[in-house]
């Protein structure tokens, strides 16, 4: 979660953390599928008032100032895009070359979780993630529809936390699992197995210390004959795939892995503003203005110009009558970010393009061009769509709320793969196929 999202989330949830339920039609529950990547909260653009109701009482957040409405978003060709009052064509019509629809279960009935694309036609999946059964890695041929089991995930001893942070490269697959044996320190054990199949073997144990303060590891990457990873609090390390002791990467003591060999620092309002290529020593700094909050990739940055306004927090019952705070922990005011404009541009500040005001800033930007947007179409609770900043085209993902108002969205990954399930079908989008 970025600092902007964190501030907005705390402003709203701090006032209404006691509210587990909202009036019908006010809020759509959103569930995000993810492949071990940390859940990214979708930032909410504040309106004049947001009301959350629990039991017989509620909390209202009312703006004291006037929120500036962002100007219309513009596409690469200059036209307003996408329209918030109409649904774009289905994704399979807009980008048919990128869409694969496959059964949501394997032929033997096992549910699976997509992990990554090994190549243009081979999807790596994992079973046993949600049903409590023994976990296995499989490849799924998107052309023939044939799955192939390649390895069983070894069980861990002691107090285990299985983390399917799966990566691949050079014909090898890697992942890690965190566990703590009685009387011992918690470690993250990195495993590897050939992509062709075989018996997994441990690569190394990574000391974790106090994971509540220091976090686990992330950014697992295969780099030739090595595996690279970073601690969540910063610090990049490498270890040979053949085994050994992890060694710190020089100059990356406070960094996270963006896209190997590029690493950077997660500053509060400018994520990956400064990048370092740990193989060549090249550095890249992004242009960021004083009122902007950005997340940068190797070549581009996506961000928002933000103004903070003071809001008054009120507490009302179901009839709308103002009441006293139900607890002693209620805030009187909060700072709410008002998004003035959303944009994507090159790291040097050039080629800036407006983004739709409805894009979800908490999500990653796939391949530095594809953005998730939530269209608020009249008569709909919210229509998830995909927007291409290079062409200005957008597509309806086909996802809709269920009878309970819940909606399962794709994760906020940065790579070519986007997956989500609709009924008994799994949508597999290979965004690299879109030219």
Res 248: pLDDT: 97
Largest CA distance in the chain: 67
Q: Beta-strand (E) ranges in 128-261?
A: 136-141, 147-152, 159-169, 172-180, 187-194, 201-207, 217-223, 226-231, 236-240, 247-248, 256-259
Predicted pLDDT of residue 375: 85
- pLDDT at residue 185, as a whole number: 84
Can you tell me whether residue 180 is helix, strand or coil? strand
The pLDDT of residue 57 is 35
**pLDDT 10s digit of each residue in the chain, 435 long?**
444 444 434 433 333 333 333 323 323 334 434 444 332 222 222 222 222 222 333 334 433 333 343 334 344 434 445 565 689 999 999 999 999 999 999 999 999 999 999 999 999 999 998 777 889 999 999 999 999 999 999 887 666 666 668 999 999 999 999 888 788 888 999 999 999 999 999 999 999 987 777 789 999 999 999 999 999 999 999 999 999 999 999 999 999 999 999 999 999 899 999 999 999 999 999 999 999 999 999 999 999 999 999 988 777 777 878 777 766 667 778 888 888 989 999 999 999 999 887 766 566 789 999 998 888 888 777 889 999 999 989 999 999 988 888 888 887 778 999 999 999 999 999 999 999
Residue 283 is encoded by which pair of tokens?
């550095």
Cβ neighbours of residue 294 closer than 8 Å, sequence gap 6 or more: 269, 270, 271, 273, 286, 288, 301, 302, 303, 304
Give the count of beta carbons closer than 10 Å to the beta carbon of residue 137.
25
Give the residues across from 292 on adjacent strands.
305
Q: Given this model, what pLDDT does residue 61 score?
A: 41
Look at the alpha carbons of 173, 418, 219, 272 in this order and tell me if their dihedral is positive or negative. Answer: positive
Q: How many angstroms separate the CA atoms of 72 and 265, rounded?
A: 32
- CA-derived radius of gyration, the chain: 23
Per DSSP (E only), the strands in 270-364 are: 270-277, 283-285, 292-296, 300-317, 333-346, 353-354
pLDDT at 31: 41
Cα–Cα separations (whole angstroms), residue 299 to 146, 262, 370: 37, 11, 14
Residue 106's alpha-carbon distances to 131, 141, 205, 423, in angstroms, are 14, 12, 33, 15
Query: Can you give the pLDDT at residue 159?
Result: 60
């Amino acid at each position: 979660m970025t600092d902007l999202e964190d501030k907005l989330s705390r402003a709203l949830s701090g006032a209404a953390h006691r509210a587990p339920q909202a009036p019908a039609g006010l809020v759509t529950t959103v569930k995000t599928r993810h492949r071990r990547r940390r859940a990214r909260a979708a930032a909410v653009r504040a309106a004049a008032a947001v009301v959350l109701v629990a039991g017989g009482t509620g909390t209202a957040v009312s703006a004291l100032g006037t929120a500036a409405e962002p100007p219309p978003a513009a596409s690469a060709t200059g036209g307003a895009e996408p329209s918030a009052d109409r649904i774009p064509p289905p994704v399979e019509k807009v980008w048919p070359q990128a869409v694969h629809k496959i059964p949501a279960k394997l032929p033997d009935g096992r549910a699976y979780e997509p992990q990554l694309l090994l190549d243009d036609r081979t999807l790596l999946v994992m079973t046993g993630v949600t049903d409590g059964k023994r976990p296995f890695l499989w490849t799924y041929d998107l052309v023939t529809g044939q799955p192939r089991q390649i390895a069983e995930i070894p069980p861990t001893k002691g107090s285990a936390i299985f983390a399917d942070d799966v990566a691949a490269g050079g014909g090898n697959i890697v992942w890690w699992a965190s566990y703590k044996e009685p009387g011992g320190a918690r470690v993250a054990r990195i495993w590897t197995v050939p992509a062709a199949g075989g018996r997994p073997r441990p690569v190394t144990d990574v000391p974790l210390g106090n994971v509540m303060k220091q976090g686990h590891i992330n950014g697992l990457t295969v780099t030739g004959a090595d595996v690279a990873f970073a601690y969540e609090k910063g610090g990049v390390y490498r270890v040979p795939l053949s085994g050994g002791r992890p060694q710190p990467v020089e100059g990356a003591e406070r960094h996270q892995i963006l896209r190997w060999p590029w690493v950077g620092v997660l500053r509060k309002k400018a994520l990956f503003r400064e990048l370092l290529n740990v193989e060549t020593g090249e550095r890249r700094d992004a242009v960021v203005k004083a009122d902007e909050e950005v997340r940068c990739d190797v070549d581009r940055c996506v961000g928002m110009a933000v103004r903070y306004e003071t809001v008054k927090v009120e507490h009302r019952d179901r009839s709308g009558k103002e009441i006293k705070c139900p607890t002693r922990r209620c805030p009187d005011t909060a700072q709410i970010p008002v998004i003035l404009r959303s944009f994507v541009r090159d790291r040097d500040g050039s080629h800036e393009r407006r983004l739709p005001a409805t894009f979800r800033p908490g999500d990653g930007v796939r391949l530095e061009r594809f953005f998730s947007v939530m269209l608020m179409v009249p008569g709909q609770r919210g229509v998830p769509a995909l927007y291409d900043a290079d062409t200005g085209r957008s597509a309806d993902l086909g996802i809709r709320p269920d009878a309970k108002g819940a909606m399962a969205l794709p994760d906020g990954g940065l790579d070519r793969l986007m997956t989500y399930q609709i009924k008994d079908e799994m949508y597999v989008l290979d965004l690299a196929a879109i030219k």
